[in-house]
Structure 1
Amino acid sequence: MTSILSAVVSAPSIASAQPSDVAAKAHHNANGKGFINPWPSYKDWSGPGIFFRMMYLRLSGKWTTPDTTPPTVPVRKPEFLPTRQTDKLRATWLGHACYYVEFPGGFRVLFDPVFTDRCSPFSWLGPKRFTEMPCQVEDIPFIDAVVISHNHYDHLSHPTLEKIAKLHPNAHYLVGLGNKPWFKHMGLDDTNVTELDWWEERTLTLSPAQRGEDPDKQEDISATIGCLPCQHTSARTAWDKAQTLWASWSVTSGGKKLWFGGDTGYRTVPELPDSEFDYDEKYADLPHCPAFKQIGDLRGPFDLGLIPIGAYDPRFIMSPMHASPYDSVNIFADTKCEKALGIHWGTWVLTTEEVLEPPKVLKKALKWKGIAVDGVFETCDIGESREY
């Protein structure tokens, strides 16, 4: 790939606000390599700890397997814009955390693409889709940037990135710290990969030549992409937990601003009886992650948030890493998103809640939060596009 065809990556002409303590890098592991969640809202479960707790729940009959018998989540064929011309922000859900977003002005970004049947290191083992893929990578007309929230298999797919690199060789990849070497290790070109730390941002400028268009008739397209905190972790194997950075992301282009939550928890909930509501007044003192309010105060408001709402049960195991819909509406308020769409559900069975439960609970949570207005924080069919 020649450098003239690569996007120009630069610091924004005007830097966005950052927390006063950003230089302390509290999320960098001071005791060794890797990263941590630096808040009391997070509890770190070891891999063996989760495994043995889940085995106990299975043996005791407390771990239920959701019913995936069709019909479940409706799937429709996406309708992507055939050109770069649009005056609205257009977001298309492609399952789980994958969204394709078309910005006014022409910028096109793909978030956490996984176009495989299983989210696993194996093609024959691991969680298998219970809903069909709505399309293939070949069906997407333009991909200028690919944003990866973290390296778990349901968010970072080697076969998918291989295909994107072949079909869209000029696409630029934005990842958290420590993820760039993976591209080279997996045989992918790492020259178009930018690593960022929390609160860092870069502006991508795409020339007409880089987009394969006539430079005499078209202008540059630019987008500012920011790496922001979230409460999660990372791992590709049993030996590399938290060695690479997880993140949420912001993208600003064409006068529109979007926040992508990726995969995140909000607070750690203790083991409770099934009848207990974990947002009951008696649990009001449980600490929640302060990063989302910082994001809203310093980088918001956002025209649209893509916010995780699924893979949350059992709460005492999943809550540090995965938001429930009640957490999600708090994240929505904290980040100052004007509208939101739910992600991280409807594709693979990763936890015990019923597969159609997240959007139902989301409606209850919105009412509980006093956000009972239709069209504010919604879900949609896989393959469906919404405009803002």
Structure 2
Amino acid sequence: MPPSTLTVLPPRRPPSSTTPPAHHVNTPPSSFQNPWPSYNHTTGLQAVKTRWFSPKNFVPIPRDRSQLVRVRIPDFGQAKDGLKATWIGHASFLVETTAAEGAQRGIRILLDPVWSERVGPYGMVGPIRFTPPPCKIEEIPEVDAVLISHDHYDHLDSDTLKKVNAKQNGKLRFFCGLGVKVTLIGLGIGIKAEQVTELDWWDGIKLDVEGVGSADLICTPSQHRSGRAPWNFEKTLWCSWVVREVVSELVDTRGDIRAVKKLFFAGDTGYCSVHSDTELSYHSAPHAPCPAFADIGELYGPFDLSLLPIGCYSPRTFMSAVHASPDDSIAIHKELKSKKSIGMHYGTFRGSISEQYEPVTEPPQRCREVAEKEGLQWGIEVGLCDIGETVVV
């Protein structure tokens, strides 16, 4: 793997930013919070009541695979030029920036990689994959970096990270939110401190890979939670990511690199909190939706490609604050000023609570219904892809 270097980018923050940051609890931060009225905190007791004592709408996973997400053998867009994103399933993607002139490839980045059959502590409990990954870890091309949105088991999978790191002989960079570095090192999977870079919301790093090119990686907000055990909930920071190609050192009046393509990865996020399980739209929320996405759109948009969650959003009274419905994601697409958005975070795992309420076929169907209702061109402005398919912009 070619050597790489990091350069801190000048921060770009929205006018609403404060010092200290509103999402920090204490200074320096001992934990983190969602600083917006759009978030409604739920407790462990509410989770138990919702899972075991609320009316259910359980629909089994269809046995006919034609009703589920298609899986294809990936080619990772090898014969295509442009910014590429290959869906591995759930929230996992392999992204490759446009190859610079004279380079054989672009910067390759894994987003929240998960190949495991089960996501949970020690692989013993937790949701089970019902759609297989499109390939083995050994079959993916050489990568330069891994971006982690937060430390929940379905986004930070120790077995996958161990195998990816070993495949690269430990010569791999990891980027994550504040506090996640201790988790990555403490997993005992061979990741060393010098491999991991932590960022706060709105911080950015320029990654230069010798002989390949450069990419800006900017840590941006999301509305979610964190924690791998009850005693460390919200001790680590959750985030979304902006990936910006660097193909010219010339900048425009806003400070953007000229002639770039930009990708937004939402990770896992909610958009608003609603008070009715029958209401999928943010229009019934008692407060305005999360303002972070409009801020991201203003500071870094328009985006050429956005990867947005559309599944595991029911029941709404419990999930809406942390998991976006298709309606929410269509609104996020607009606020990001995204030219094209692809749905993710569905079709692979069923959440232990949402599986009791949400048919696995519902998210993609509703996504298309809402997009077309909003006047968006399906497959052009908003769409879906097969697992293993590469979207190129």
TM over 0.5: yes
5 Å-filtered alignment, 1:336-347, equals 336-347=337-348
Paired position in structure 2 for 1:378: 383
| Structure 1 Cα separation of the partners of residues 18 and 81 of structure 2 | 35
**Deviation for aligned residue 1:22:** 4.4
Paired position in structure 1 for 2:238: 246
| Structure 2 Cα separation of the partners of residues 16 and 301 of structure 1 | 18
Q: Relative to 1, partners in 2 of residues 1:197 and 1:279: Cα closer, same or farther, differing over 3 Å?
A: closer
Maintained 8 Å contact 2:368/2:378: no
In structure 1, give the amino acid aligned to 2:48.
F
Paired position in structure 2 for 1:314: 315
In structure 2, give the amino acid aligned to 1:246.
W
Maintained 8 Å contact 1:268/1:319: yes
| Structure 2 Cα separation of the partners of residues 386 and 277 of structure 1 | 28
Which of residues 193, 204, 208 in structure 1 aligns to 2:207? Answer: 204
| 2:197 equivalent to 1:194 | yes
Structure 2 SS opposite 1:239: helix
Q: Relative to 1, partners in 2 of residues 1:306 and 1:138: Cα closer, same or farther, differing over 3 Å?
A: same
Maintained 8 Å contact 1:9/1:205: yes
Structure 1 SS opposite 2:165: helix
Maintained 8 Å contact 1:76/1:384: yes
Deviations 1:133-161 (A, max 9, x none): 21111111121110000000000011111
5 Å-filtered alignment, 1:254-265, equals 254=247, 255-265=260-270
**Deviation for aligned residue 1:17:** 2.9
Maintained 8 Å contact 1:6/1:192: no
Q: Relative to 1, partners in 2 of residues 1:66 and 1:36: Cα closer, same or farther, differing over 3 Å?
A: farther
**Deviation for aligned residue 1:50:** 1.1
Paired position in structure 2 for 1:271: 276
| 2:160 equivalent to 1:163 | no
In structure 1, give the amino acid aligned to 2:264.
W
| Structure 2 Cα separation of the partners of residues 191 and 5 of structure 1 | 16
Q: Relative to 1, partners in 2 of residues 1:317 and 1:324: Cα closer, same or farther, differing over 3 Å?
A: same
Q: Relative to 1, partners in 2 of residues 1:183 and 1:243: Cα closer, same or farther, differing over 3 Å?
A: same
| Structure 2 Cα separation of the partners of residues 228 and 261 of structure 1 | 9
| 2:294 equivalent to 1:298 | no
| 2:362 equivalent to 1:366 | no
**Deviation for aligned residue 1:7:** 2.1
5 Å-filtered alignment, 1:31-70, equals 33-57=30-54, 60=55, 62-70=56-64
Paired position in structure 1 for 2:86: 92
| Structure 1 Cα separation of the partners of residues 231 and 201 of structure 2 | 24
**Deviation for aligned residue 1:119:** 1.0
| Structure 2 Cα separation of the partners of residues 29 and 258 of structure 1 | 30
**Deviation for aligned residue 1:23:** 3.2
**Deviation for aligned residue 1:317:** 0.6
TM-score (structure 2 length as normaliser): 0.88
Deviations 1:152-183 (A, max 9, x none): 00000111111111111322111000011112
- More deviation in 161-170 or 29-38? 29-38
Maintained 8 Å contact 1:8/1:206: yes
Q: Which runs of 5+ in 1 are unaligned?
A: 209-219
| Structure 2 Cα separation of the partners of residues 279 and 99 of structure 1 | 27
Maintained 8 Å contact 2:282/2:328: no
Maintained 8 Å contact 2:268/2:322: yes
- More deviation in 119-128 or 195-204? 119-128
Maintained 8 Å contact 2:37/2:287: no
Q: Which runs of 5+ in 2 are unaligned?
A: 100-105, 248-259
| Structure 1 Cα separation of the partners of residues 359 and 77 of structure 2 | 34
| Structure 2 Cα separation of the partners of residues 5 and 190 of structure 1 | 19
**Deviation for aligned residue 1:53:** 2.3
| Structure 2 Cα separation of the partners of residues 284 and 41 of structure 1 | 8
Deviations 1:3-38 (A, max 9, x none): x965211113xx353113243300001397210000
**Deviation for aligned residue 1:336:** 1.2
| Structure 2 Cα separation of the partners of residues 286 and 369 of structure 1 | 22
**Deviation for aligned residue 1:91:** 1.2
**Deviation for aligned residue 1:284:** 6.3
| Structure 1 Cα separation of the partners of residues 324 and 300 of structure 2 | 21
Paired position in structure 1 for 2:19: 23
| Structure 1 Cα separation of the partners of residues 380 and 329 of structure 2 | 16
CA-based RMSD: 2.0
In structure 2, give the amino acid aligned to 1:236.
R
Identity of aligned residues (%): 40
Paired position in structure 2 for 1:180: 181
TM-score (structure 1 length as normaliser): 0.89
**Deviation for aligned residue 1:271:** 2.6
| Structure 1 Cα separation of the partners of residues 14 and 50 of structure 2 | 37
In structure 2, give the amino acid aligned to 1:17.
R
| Structure 1 Cα separation of the partners of residues 44 and 210 of structure 2 | 45
**How many pairs are equivalent?**
363
Paired position in structure 1 for 2:250: none
Maintained 8 Å contact 2:83/2:97: yes
Paired position in structure 2 for 1:133: 133
In structure 2, give the amino acid aligned to 1:19.
P
| Structure 1 Cα separation of the partners of residues 383 and 181 of structure 2 | 34
Q: Relative to 1, partners in 2 of residues 1:243 and 1:279: Cα closer, same or farther, differing over 3 Å?
A: closer
